[in-house]
């Protein structure tokens, strides 16, 4: 490629030698997975009304959870905080010191593997394992020290309804987690009990969604940041609403101008299947998932599902009498559910060779399948269609929040494996935003756009710590809305001793 040139987000490829049966299938798939401009606009408009509905007393399918994170940091936050991130693959523990210098911090962190069995184990095993990791962290980094209670921001990236910031009733597991006895209950008491059992000097200050952490961490360094998004194993967004626009909080008589971060939980958008162009493959994904009927939007977009959609299409084509693909080959590996991840699709889309030789090798090594050139062309096209659909649908969510709030110019902080690693995701999203919002021809390239989606700061580390800091500051100022027990939140912490932060 010449210096300065950019790869286009889709490949022309040569379809000249592709036999008619495969070409017909390619056209059919293109039809199924393409979301044209008008559809994007229709989805966005419906999304805007669903965001509003989620804030009402009756509610809708998007939970729109108030998080009790009530404001942005101003850079003058100080103190030492722990942050815990319970991700799908790792558990990360950080100690973050927000220093006297405005907007600066020091961080130390350790990662622990999250054993796969935990995801479908028991609640006791989960909380016990997490508490063990925190204990190890404290013992390793603070051996033989007399510690005050350390305030903790716990990033729990699942839908939780919060009456207080240190409270969270799990609405439902997402992203393949299925631990019995947790849904419908406050996750904080069993977590705190596991810490107390081990005598770990930690006080949970804030239960944080990863999107809220992302929003706050990003706004810490960029005041134009208005939305925090995760495009990873799951997908979701958070933004700052004003309390006056949250009818379901009206009974609390909060000052209507007070800010309140809303964890949208937009993965649940269109659970009633009114507007999203679902394919038969999306329907299978849903049916076979641990929570059918939930997370309709997420299941078309998030990293956990992209590889599975791709696998289901290929298997269906193999079984389809109308076309010949992987003929007379052993498809046992391809038949295994969830055997392909989004990284597999990324690798296909990144194959730089005209003859798609890397894709050929990938199929041979991973699936034991030898592909012909026309099959490779179909495979590449399919990956492109699935990846592009995910990026374009994601843009509908971002555009909907901006439309709801009347924001025409702002930054959006995004994190997650799909955003950071999936080829062309950003530019495909920007192109879709342009189509939805009717930007001029020179916009929508992903740079200097009116609404620009940028890589976020560390939400589950610095973001969670900042939210803990903001919470303690609020308690000290006597602003106790959404704090379960202000006295006990401060008890034993350094903040209580000093009286100030
Ligand atoms: C969860 C959200 C989370 C998102 C991204 C979704 O499955 O419900 O709480 O923010 O994944 O991690």
DSSP characters over 215-272? HHHHHHH-TTEEEEEEESSSEEEEEEEEGGG-GGGGGG---TT-EEEEE--GGGTTTT
In this prediction, residue 498 has a pLDDT band, given cuts at 50, 70 and 90, of low
Asked whether residue 6 is assigned to any structural domain, the reply reads: no
Does residue 496 have a pLDDT over 80? no
pLDDT digit string, tens, across residues 226-253: 999 999 999 999 999 999 999 999 999 9
User: Which has the closest alpha carbon to 422: 310, 265, 302?
Assistant: 302
Shared domain for 153 and 262, answered yes or no, is no
Shared domain for 26 and 139, answered yes or no, is no
Shared domain for 180 and 303, answered yes or no, is no
pLDDT digit string, tens, across residues 159-215: 999 999 999 999 999 998 999 999 999 999 999 999 999 999 999 999 999 999 999
DSSP state of 142: S
**Is the Cα torsion angle 167, 171, 176, 179 positive or negative in sign?**
positive
Shared domain for 25 and 89, answered yes or no, is no
> Which residue lies with its CA nearest to atom 3 of ligand 1?
157
Task: Please give the residue range of the domain that contains residue 148.
Answer: 77-208+460-496
pLDDT digit string, tens, across residues 115-132: 989 999 999 999 999 999
Pocket-forming residues, ligand 1, beta carbon under 6 Å: 157-159, 174-175, 209-211, 230, 232, 234-236, 265, 267, 298
- What's the length of the chain? 501
Shared domain for 375 and 297, answered yes or no, is yes
What pLDDT is recorded for position 499? 53
In this prediction, residue 2 has a pLDDT band, given cuts at 50, 70 and 90, of very low
Q: How far is C-alpha 146 from the geometric centre of its chain's CA atoms?
A: 37
For residues 110-130, one letter each, b for 16 or more C-beta atoms within 10 angstroms of the residue's C-beta and e for the rest, the string is eebebeeebbebebeebbbbb
Shared domain for 348 and 231, answered yes or no, is yes
What pLDDT is recorded for position 433? 98
Shared domain for 119 and 232, answered yes or no, is no
How many whole angstroms separate alpha carbon 153 and alpha carbon 209? 10
Question: In a 3-state reduction of DSSP, which class is residue 128?
Answer: helix
Shared domain for 185 and 306, answered yes or no, is no
pLDDT digit string, tens, across residues 317-368: 999 999 999 999 999 999 999 999 999 999 999 999 999 999 999 999 999 9
Tokens standing for 153?
């921001």
> Which residue lies with its CA nearest to atom 1 of ligand 1?
158
Question: In a 3-state reduction of DSSP, which class is residue 468?
Answer: helix
Tokens standing for 261?
């971060």
**Pocket test residue of 230, 269, 297, 394 for ligand 1, highest count of atoms within 8 A of CB:** 230
Number of domains in the chain: 2
Question: pLDDT exceeding 70 applies to what percent of the chain?
Answer: 98
8 Å CB contact between 130 and 194: yes
How would you class 72 by CB atoms within 10 Å of its CB: exposed for 0-12, middle for 13-18, buried for 19 or more? middle
Asked whether residue 4 is assigned to any structural domain, the reply reads: no
**Pocket test residue of 169, 207, 235, 269 for ligand 1, highest count of atoms within 8 A of CB:** 235
Comparing 14-23, 222-231, 312-321, the range with the smallest average pLDDT is: 14-23
How many whole angstroms separate alpha carbon 472 and alpha carbon 46? 38
How would you class 478 by CB atoms within 10 Å of its CB: exposed for 0-12, middle for 13-18, buried for 19 or more? exposed
How many whole angstroms separate alpha carbon 403 and alpha carbon 485? 37
User: Which has the closest alpha carbon to 405: 252, 227, 233?
Assistant: 227
State mean pLDDT over 466-484.
96
Asked whether residue 300 is assigned to any structural domain, the reply reads: yes
Contacts of 16 (CB under 8 A, 6+ apart): none
Beta pairing, strands 90-98 & 105-113: antiparallel
Shared domain for 453 and 478, answered yes or no, is no
Distance 141 CA to ligand 1 centre (A): 30
Shared domain for 341 and 471, answered yes or no, is no
User: Which has the closest alpha carbon to 459: 263, 249, 255?
Assistant: 263
Q: Which helix (H) or strand (E) holds 312?
A: helix 303-319
Shared domain for 269 and 368, answered yes or no, is yes
Asked whether residue 218 is assigned to any structural domain, the reply reads: no
What pLDDT is recorded for position 3? 47
Write out the catalytic residue numbers: 157, 172, 210
Shared domain for 57 and 82, answered yes or no, is no
Contacts of 205 (CB under 8 A, 6+ apart): 81, 151, 152, 153, 165, 166, 468, 471, 472, 489
How many whole angstroms separate alpha carbon 247 and alpha carbon 383? 42
Does residue 30 have a pLDDT over 80? yes
Between 76 and 67, name the one with better pLDDT: 67
Asked whether residue 238 is assigned to any structural domain, the reply reads: yes
Beta pairing, strands 202-208 & 65-66: unpaired
CATH number of domain containing 179: 3.30.420.40
How many whole angstroms separate alpha carbon 201 and alpha carbon 67? 25
Asked whether residue 8 is assigned to any structural domain, the reply reads: no
What pLDDT is recorded for position 197? 97
8 Å CB contact between 232 and 157: no
Does residue 16 have a pLDDT over 90? no
8 Å CB contact between 273 and 287: no
CATH number of domain containing 316: 3.40.367.20
Q: How far is C-alpha 190 from the geometric centre of its chain's CA atoms?
A: 25
State mean pLDDT over 267-274.
98
Asked whether residue 396 is assigned to any structural domain, the reply reads: yes
Angle at 482 (CA atoms; ends 206, 170), nearest 5 degrees? 60
Tokens standing for 466?
């900042």
Counting from 1 in the atom list of ligand 1, the atom nearest the Cα of 175 is 7
Other Cβ atoms less than 10 A from the Cβ of 133: the count is 20
Between 102 and 319, name the one with better pLDDT: 319
State mean pLDDT over 32-57.
98
pLDDT digit string, tens, across residues 404-432: 999 999 999 999 999 999 999 999 999 99
> Which residue lies with its CA nearest to atom 2 of ligand 1?
158
Q: Which helix (H) or strand (E) holds 410?
A: strand 410-415
> Which residue lies with its CA nearest to atom 7 of ligand 1?
234
Distance 460 CA to ligand 1 centre (A): 12
């Amino acid at each position: 490629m010449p210096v300065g040139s950019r790869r286009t987000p889709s490949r022309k490829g040569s379809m000249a030698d592709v036999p008619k049966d495969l070409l017909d299938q390619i056209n059919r798939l293109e039809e199924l997975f393409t979301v044209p401009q008008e559809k994007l606009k229709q989805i966005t408009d419906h999304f805007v009304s669903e965001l509003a509905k989620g804030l009402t007393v009756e509610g809708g399918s998007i939970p729109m959870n108030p998080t009790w994170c009530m404001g942005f940091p101003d850079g003058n936050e100080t103190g030492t905080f722990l942050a815990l991130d319970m991700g799908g693959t790792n558990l990360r523990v950080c100690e973050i010191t927000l220093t006297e210098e405005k907007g600066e911090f020091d961080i130390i962190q350790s990662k622990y593997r999250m054993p796969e069995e935990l995801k479908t184990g028991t609640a006791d095993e989960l909380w016990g394992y997490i508490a063990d990791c925190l204990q190890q962290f404290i013992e390793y980094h603070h051996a033989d020290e007399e510690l005050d209670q350390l305030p903790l921001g716990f990033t729990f990236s699942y839908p939780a309804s919060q009456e207080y910031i240190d409270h969270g009733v799990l609405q439902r597991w997402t992203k393949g987690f299925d631990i019995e006895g947790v849904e419908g209950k406050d996750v904080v008491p069993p977590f705190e009990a596991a810490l107390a059992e081990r005598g770990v000097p930690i006080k949970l200050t804030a239960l944080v969604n990863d999107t809220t952490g992302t929003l706050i961490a990003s706004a810490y360094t960029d005041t134009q940041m208005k939305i925090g998004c995760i495009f990873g194993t799951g997908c979701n967004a958070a933004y700052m609403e004003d309390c006056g626009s949250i009818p379901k909080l009206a009974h609390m008589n909060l000052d209507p101008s007070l800010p309140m971060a809303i964890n949208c939980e937009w993965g649940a958008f269109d659970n009633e299947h009114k507007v999203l162009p679902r394919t038969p493959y999306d329907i299978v994904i849903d049916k076979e998932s641990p929570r059918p009927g939930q997370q309709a939007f997420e299941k078309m977009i998030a990293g956990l599902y992209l590889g599975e959609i791709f696998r289901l299409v290929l298997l269906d084509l193999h079984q389809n009498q109308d076309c010949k693909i992987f003929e007379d080959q052993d498809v046992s590996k391809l038949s295994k559910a969830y055997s392909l991840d989004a990284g597999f699709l990324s690798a296909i889309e990144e194959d730089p060779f005209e003859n798609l030789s890397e894709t050929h090798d990938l199929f041979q090594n991973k699936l034991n399948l030898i592909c012909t050139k026309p099959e490779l062309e179909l495979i590449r096209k399919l990956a492109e269609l699935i990846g592009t659909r995910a990026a374009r649908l994601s843009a509908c969510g971002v555009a909907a929040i901006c439309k709801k709030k009347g924001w025409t110019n702002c930054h959006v902080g995004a994190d997650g494996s799909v955003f950071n690693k999936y080829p062309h995701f950003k530019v495909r999203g920007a192109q879709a935003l342009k189509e939805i919002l009717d930007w001029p021809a020179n916009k929508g390239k992903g740079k200097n756009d009116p609404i620009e989606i940028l890589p976020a700061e560390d939400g589950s580390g610095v973001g969670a710590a900042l939210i803990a800091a903001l919470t303690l500051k609020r308690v000290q100022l006597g602003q106790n809305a959404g704090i379960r027990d202000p006295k006990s939140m401060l008890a034993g912490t350094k903040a209580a001793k000093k009286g100030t932060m």
